[in-house]
Amino acid sequence: MSSQETHKIQENNTSEATTTASLPRLGMAAPLFEAVTTHGKIRLDDFRGGWVVLFSHPADFTPVCTTEFLAFAAIAPELRKRNVELLGLSIDSTSSHIAWVRNIKDKFGIDIPFPIIADSNKDVATLYGMVSPGESKTETSRCVFVIDPNGIVRAMIYYPLTTGRNTDEIIRLIDALQTTDKHAVATPANWKPGDKVIVPPPATMEDVEARLKAGFECTDWYFCKKAI
């Protein structure tokens, strides 16, 4: 194999690696970016001090994405009550985003209140690993990243192109994370506000004895719930 051919393979491998950058890690700092949106230029740091739900969609003017945007618009007021900002993204242009938002308003009577990032060069999509080549090399998957007030990635959800997201679950997830932070507890399967929470497991024999005397609802020494 010639040196020219070897160099070409290395270039292709580098390009593929760039397109399919690894995902951010839970508990690590969210990758910073600056981007143009339907609400003007933004920086992720602009939202420090509040929560962010950054989500991507495959393409403008597609039916499943339209249903999702209608659903995200519906939960936007509830998210604001929780100090959460929504940021949408696809690799379409700003002009396409604006035209689509206007079309949604015209056809469905719904205003889209949150910014939509125009990521034609896939800069943000690459930072967050939003393109899944197994599904599409030209569209972003249905990704959701929850970023806390300190800029830390707290949750990630990925859906295939064919499946619209459940926005009620996103609100439930935010409620669970904020409850965990406020009360230093965990939340069980299918938890929702008002349900009992999980008391963290004890780490010492002394902790075991203390929790058994604390009046928690214990099934066993390692499994206790309490109301908050």
**Tokens at 26, concatenated:** 């839970």
Active site amino acids:
65
Q: Report which residue type is found at 105.
A: K
197 with 179: CB under 8 angstroms?
A: yes
Q: Which two tokens stand for residue 117?
A: 């990032």
Tell me the C-alpha distance between 172 and 46, whole Å: 25
3-state secondary structure of 226: strand
Q: Give strand pairing partners of 89.
A: 56, 117
Task: Give the residue from 153, 150, 155 showing the smallest Cα distance to 50.
Answer: 150
Strands 84-90 and 51-56: parallel
Q: How far apart are CA 109 and CA 155, in angstroms?
A: 32
